[in-house]
Chains A and B, each alone.
Chain A
Amino acid sequence: MLIKKPADLRESDVTDQSLYLRRREFLQVAGSTAVAMATVGGVPAFEGTSTVLHAQNPSARKLENFTKSAFNTDEKMNSYKDVTTYNNFYEFGLDKADPARYSSTLRPSPWSVVVDGQCGKPGTYTIEDIMKWFPLEERIYRMRCVEAWSMVIPWVGFPLADFVKRFQPTSRAKFVKFTTLVDTKQMPGQTEPALPWPYVEGLRMDEALHPLALMAVGLYGEVLPNQNGAPIRLVVPWKYGFKGIKSIVRVSFEESQPLNTWQRVRADEYGFYANVNPAVDHPRWSQASERRIGEFFKRKTLPFNGYADHVASLYTGMDPRKLY
């Protein structure tokens, strides 16, 4: 259990949602103004706005200048506490409360990402550089876990497509493979053979280039907390949450389909595509419905987690049963 200290009081705990949202709108306006000012050489004062978002977690660094995305859902967001204390991140333990408890050992800075494989610009890039390359935007997405629960989360990040294109993948690059850090000092759960480390995930190139796929560096207007995959993670809202690999240290452009971790350990239960599909059950439980965290009764799960209009065309002609 987290001990509540007054210093831990979060904006969302003390402010009602609508007020918080209005402030965010204000921030977004302030953010774009600031971009404009910054480009003409002005150094805008952020004091007033920064304290608002900073209040989520007093020790977290706020993110600036992010814009609102056209893809945002208007569903009620889960609280900062929901999003940051209920996590599957086995590198810090198997209990959902473990990542929040034990991830303070992770050092998201200094951090660099190795880019390799079939691309024109391989190399090692620092997180600071990566964050400078692209304008940040907020994406409020549904997140559907393979365990049949879901949340609504305001991520901050940039399109994976922009990231991928920057490295000029060659025509032989058919897949993008992502790898999480391995370091038993920073990720003590890796001393247990719970999963074969490092955690690996992958996307087909057209999935990676889809505008919904996001590289997230923030949450609720602040840098990603360690337990949510600091400093950089993947968010693919039409797929089960385990595809959203955290704390990425390597991005590789590959010719053949990578063997993602869960497929490797339980090929009969987890596949490569892992698209949210209420019609295809997990071998042990139904995927037809889900519990939105904060609600008591289950709600129906939507094909592609409600993003079918955007992404269903990626899979035309494919057998949906192969898409688990």
Chain B
Amino acid sequence: MSSTVWVRRALKPAVFLAGLGPAIWLVVRGFQGELGVNPVETVTNDTGIWTLRFIVLTLAVTPTRWLTGWNPVALFRRMLGLFAFFYGTLHFLTYFILDHSLELAGVWDDVVKRPYITAGFTGFMLMVPLALTSTHGWIRRLGGHRWNRLHQLVYVSAIGAVLHYLWKVKLDTTNPFIYIAIVAVLLGARLWHHIARASQK
């Protein structure tokens, strides 16, 4: 079995199931009444942090390929990105339904008034076109180059996401700064790679 086939047949389904894990775990805890005294807060925070984790994992794919030379890792990129969108959608829906009772006016009010929501909303909205154009059909229609350019929006999305986290926290900014550092390294790696390649030419 070639490396690619092995990745497609075994590793990808395994990663897919693992990616569903946090959502399943939330549902299980929900049924057991184990989501704590403020379950809505738990769901918001859990889905939020998993959105961010999947954004980071998605961004880590290409640098991992450069670093290890193991090309099949690229086969996970789309799935990880879609998981980021999946958790982002759950996160946004929790907020939209339970914080704002499906009233768009209230959401918009937050988006324009509260920097942490502005950042999170930007981050999430930029993920929508990326999720929609994630199919092979769209890659063909747009052409690889244009598709790649479009999907660089995930960099902006990641920056919006970490700012959202940082600005939301009341006091202890340790964890937001850990994610800021990771995102900085992952984006920095791209810049460095780009410069290194340009100077080779």
Do A297 and B101 touch across chains, with their CB atoms under 8 A apart?
A: yes
Q: Which of A117-125, A213-221, A283-291 lines the interface with chain B?
A: A283-291
Do B110 and A286 touch across chains, with their CB atoms under 8 A apart?
A: yes
The one of B36, B110, B171 in contact with A94, judged by C-beta atoms closer than 8 angstroms, is B171
Q: What mask results when residues 70 to 100 of chain A are scored 1 for a CB within 8 Å of chain B, else 0?
A: 0000000000011001100010001011000
Contacts of B98 in A (CB 8 A): 296-298
In the assembled complex, A281 has its CB within 8 A of some CB on chain B: yes
Task: Kindly state the separation between the CA atoms of A132 and B110 in the bound complex, as whole angstroms.
Answer: 50
| Chain A contact surface mostly | loop
Do B40 and A86 touch across chains, with their CB atoms under 8 A apart?
A: no
Task: Kindly state the separation between the CA atoms of A284 and B164 in the bound complex, as whole angstroms.
Answer: 11
The count of chain A contact residues (Cβ–Cβ below 8 Å) is 22
Q: Which of B113-121, B137-145, B183-191 lines the interface with chain A?
A: B113-121
Q: For the side of the interface on B, what is the size category?
A: 20 to 34
Task: Kindly state the separation between the CA atoms of A202 and B158 in the bound complex, as whole angstroms.
Answer: 42
Q: What mask results when residues 34 to 45 of chain B are scored 1 for a CB within 8 Å of chain A, else 0?
A: 101110110000
Contacts of B172 in A (CB 8 A): 94, 194
In the assembled complex, B46 has its CB within 8 A of some CB on chain A: no
B38, B109, B110, B113 interface centre (most CB from chain A within 10 Å): B38
The one of A194, A195, A284, A291 in contact with B114, judged by C-beta atoms closer than 8 angstroms, is A284
Write 26 A-B pairs (CB below 8 A) sorted by A numbering: A85-B37, A86-B37, A86-B38, A94-B171, A96-B37, A96-B38, A97-B36, A147-B170, A149-B41, A194-B171, A195-B171, A281-B113, A284-B115, A284-B116, A284-B168, A286-B110, A286-B113, A291-B41, A293-B37, A293-B38, A296-B40, A296-B98, A297-B98, A297-B101, A298-B98, A298-B101
Binding site for A on B (CB under 8 A): 34, 36-38, 40-41, 98-101, 109-110, 113-116, 167-168, 170-172
